[in-house]
Amino acid sequence: MSFKFNMLLASTVTALVLSSGAYAAVDEEAARALAQQNNCFKCHAINKDKDGPSYHKVAEKYKGKPEALDKLVNHVTSGEKAKFPDGHEEEHKIIKTSPAKDMAQIKNLIQWVLAQ
């Protein structure tokens, strides 16, 4: 009702909206380009399983899970072990961006994967 109250409300809503990255639009072209550069498609296809699960499967698995983004960002940046269909394990490839360690690009990529 009062002007101060309205301003407080508006700024809170704006802050909330801006902080949640999930509402940011996914740049599909940039995501695909980064994936191609890092040879992601050698093991992951969008709709079929290769050595790694398809992105569709990944999106299904993490649907609605709020920790998905952080978990997957960690998966592609830490070199943690990934299991292959024949049982053996290898370190997952660490994504390279230019400029190096650009979190925004990596996050965009993961969001695109989760949208498949």
How far is it, in rounded angstroms, from Cα 26 to Cα 107? 9
31 in Cβ contact with 21 (< 8 Å): no
Could you say which residues in the range 90-109 bind other proteins, by CB under 8 A?
90-91
Q: Is 82 helix (H, G, I), strand (E, B) or coil?
A: strand
The site string for other proteins over 4-43 (x = CB under 8 A, - otherwise) reads --------------------------------x----xxx
Instruction: Render the burial of 13-51: b for 16+ CB within 10 Å, e for the rest.
Output: eeeeeeeeeeeeebbeeebeebbeebebeebbeeeeeee
The site string for other proteins over 60-79 (x = CB under 8 A, - otherwise) reads --------------------
Q: Find the shortest distance in angstroms from Cβ 56 to other proteins.
A: 15
Of 24 and 33, nearer to other proteins (C-beta) is 33
User: Can you give the binding site for other proteins, defined by CB under 8 A?
Assistant: 36, 41-43, 45, 50-51, 84, 86, 88, 90-91
